[in-house]
């Protein structure tokens, strides 16, 4: 029969594998015990609390690193999106110019169709389209009137903060958020 050996658990690896929420729950449990004991705690409880707080600091630091990396990725995606959009537009314009060139060639040669091995081409009469020269001169039967109400949120906020009541508006505190600042950056960055 094979002999089983008990492996030692590396506490550093175990803490690293623990989720931030589990760590926060552990801290909450320890703080609850301290409160139950009337604010008193022994050295062991204090050491556990400090260890879990240090573990949460490490997790928060890792979250900050991941956030910074993702923000870097976002900037990269913005650059390639703009580049891809410009390339797409250029390609679409090239296709349009090629079609217009072929149209002009077919009109000049007075050819209504071309049949090839890979493609066939037909010169088709243009579609009727509506051209509106002056939208204000159109009768109401032929227009949709759209009224847009744009709230002046800054003015509403200032009035509400000064105690004025405004029907249809109120102040409401938003969700708590985490402010993450890198050590070398003095500007704030909200998550």
Residue 27 · residue 15 · CB < 8 Å: no
What's the confidence (pLDDT) of residue 181? 79
| DSSP annotation of 173 | -
Helices 43-108 and 20-36 pack at an angle, to 10 degrees, of: 150
| Tokens 């890198």 -> residue | 182
Element of type H or E holding 121: strand 120-122
What's the confidence (pLDDT) of residue 87? 95
pTM of the model: 0.52
What are phi and psi for residue 16, nearest 5 degrees? -60, -35
Which two three-digit tokens encode residue 71? 């923000």
Based on the number of CB atoms within 10 Å of its own CB, is 15 exposed (0-12), middle (13-18) or buried (19 or more)?
middle
- Alpha-helical (H) ranges within 42-150 are 43-108
Q: Kindly give the confidence (pLDDT) of every residue in the chain, 191 residues in length, as a single tens digit, with 9 standing for 90 and above.
A: 455 555 555 566 665 667 888 888 988 999 999 999 888 889 998 999 999 998 888 888 888 899 999 999 999 999 999 999 999 999 999 999 999 999 999 999 999 999 989 999 999 988 888 989 999 898 888 899 888 889 999 999 999 999 999 999 999 988 877 777 777 765 555 55
24: Cβ contacts below 8 Å, ≥ 6 apart: 56
Cross-strand pairs, 122: 113
What's the confidence (pLDDT) of residue 156? 93
45: Cβ contacts below 8 Å, ≥ 6 apart: 30, 33, 34
What's the confidence (pLDDT) of residue 73? 94
Best CA proximity match to 124, nearest among 110, 113, 109: 113
What's the confidence (pLDDT) of residue 18? 78
What's the confidence (pLDDT) of residue 169? 92
Residue 135 · residue 143 · CB < 8 Å: yes
């Amino acid at each position: 029969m094979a002999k089983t050996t008990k492996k030692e658990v590396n506490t550093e690896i175990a803490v690293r594998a623990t989720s931030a929420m589990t760590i926060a729950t552990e801290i909450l449990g320890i703080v609850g015990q301290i409160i139950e004991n009337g604010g008193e705690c022994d050295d062991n409880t204090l050491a556990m609390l400090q260890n879990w707080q240090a573990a949460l600091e490490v997790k928060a630091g890792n979250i900050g690193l991941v956030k910074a990396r993702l923000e870097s990725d976002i900037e990269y995606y913005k650059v390639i999106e703009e580049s891809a959009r410009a390339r797409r537009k250029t390609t679409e314009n090239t296709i349009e110019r090629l079609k217009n060139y072929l149209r002009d060639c077919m009109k000049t040669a007075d050819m209504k169709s071309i049949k090839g091995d890979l493609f066939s081409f037909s010169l088709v009469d243009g579609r009727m389209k509506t051209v509106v020269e002056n939208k204000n001169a159109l009768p109401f039967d032929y227009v949709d009137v759209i009224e847009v109400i744009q709230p002046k949120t800054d003015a509403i906020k200032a009035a509400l903060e000064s105690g004025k009541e405004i029907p249809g508006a109120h102040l409401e505190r938003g969700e708590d958020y985490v402010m993450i600042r890198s050590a070398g950056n003095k500007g704030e960055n909200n998550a």
